[in-house]
Structure 1
Amino acid sequence: MSELMTRPVPAPAVTLESKPFFDAAEQGKFLIKRCTACKEAHWYPRTICPFCHSDQTVWEESPGEGVVYSFSIMRKSPSGPYALAYVTLAEGPNVLTNVVDVAPEDLKIGMAVKVKLQPTEGGPPVPVFVPA
């Protein structure tokens, strides 16, 4: 069995629109946006709903549970192999993310995962996913 994948993440750019997300992440909360007009949850969090184009969106705490929809393992990296994946959250949106704390050969489509708020290099934590 090979080593578990990890990935150092640089500090994200925090904007006025993303600040509530990163403030909540520092409190250990994972937020998504939901449109109150069409009721759809969406990722990445943004003011305008990508489904109906309403500006009636609100922050909502998510348990961060989902399944791996698709992934690719990057094997040539100075920090070792890492996985980029689409995770489908229980609320519906697909999140482009990293999956960590799993060996490359153990990562599977359909695997249950949960969010982990990972510290960054000098900034707020960011969501990555680990096996559930």
Structure 2
Amino acid sequence: MTRISLRDGDWPDPPASPEAAPFVAAAREGRFLLRRCTACGKAHWYPRALCPFCFGETAWEEASGEGTVYSYTVLTREDPPRAIAYVTLAEGPTMLTSLVDCEAEQIAVGQAVRLVFVTSKNGTPVPCFRPAGAGDPSGAEPAP
């Protein structure tokens, strides 16, 4: 089996920007933020001040951190191996991210995943996902 680890502290540092500062500040508190358009109501990822759908203004909102795997690939030639995925968030947008803390052979399209923040080399939180139920204090898997 190919184990995909958290690699905490081993992620590249995301570029700092004033526009991303509220996202990073919330992530340091364990909260995941998205932007939602105040005109058309659509949420989007990557957060930006203007809506990519209608160019309306957007506002920050707290997201659930839940999603499903839309597509993925496992990079087994990397050491340690990595899993890159498109995850469709419960709020609607699909984001490119990494899957962590799982067995590569058990990843599946449509699988429920949950947000986990890992840290970059300088300590900045990076949003990744792991299978739902993994790492839960109760150890219980969510109902289908």
TM-score (norm 2): 0.86
- Root-mean-square deviation over aligned CA pairs: 1.1
Asked whether the equivalents of residues 2 and 81 of structure 2 are also in contact (C-alpha less than 8 Å), the reply is: no
Q: Distance in 2 between matches of 1:116 and 1:6?
A: 9
Q: Helix, strand or coil: the match of 2:85?
A: strand
Q: Helix, strand or coil: the match of 2:4?
A: coil
The 5-angstrom pairing of residues 1-132 of structure 1 reads 1-7=1-7, 8-54=10-56, 56-78=57-79, 80-132=80-132
Q: Helix, strand or coil: the match of 1:18?
A: helix
Q: Distance in 2 between matches of 1:4 and 1:75?
A: 9
Deviations 1:37-72 (A, max 9, x none): 000000000111011011x20000011100000001
Q: Distance in 2 between matches of 1:129 and 1:62?
A: 14
Q: Helix, strand or coil: the match of 2:40?
A: coil
Asked whether the equivalents of residues 3 and 81 of structure 2 are also in contact (C-alpha less than 8 Å), the reply is: no
Gaps of 5+ in 2: 133-144
Asked whether the equivalents of residues 43 and 93 of structure 2 are also in contact (C-alpha less than 8 Å), the reply is: yes
Displaced runs of 4 or more, over 4 A:
none
Q: What amino acid sits opposite 2:2 in the alignment? A: S
Asked whether the equivalents of residues 4 and 83 of structure 2 are also in contact (C-alpha less than 8 Å), the reply is: no
Asked whether the equivalents of residues 71 and 86 of structure 1 are also in contact (C-alpha less than 8 Å), the reply is: yes
Cα deviation for residue 34 of structure 1 reads: 0.2
Cα deviation for residue 123 of structure 1 reads: 3.3
Cα deviation for residue 77 of structure 1 reads: 1.2
Q: What amino acid sits opposite 2:71 in the alignment? A: S
TM-score (norm 1): 0.94
Q: Helix, strand or coil: the match of 2:121?
A: coil
Q: What amino acid sits opposite 2:27 in the alignment? A: A
- Identical counterparts, % of pairs: 48
Cα deviation for residue 15 of structure 1 reads: 0.1
Asked whether the equivalents of residues 66 and 114 of structure 2 are also in contact (C-alpha less than 8 Å), the reply is: yes
Q: What amino acid sits opposite 1:4 in the alignment? A: I
Asked whether the equivalents of residues 99 and 129 of structure 1 are also in contact (C-alpha less than 8 Å), the reply is: yes
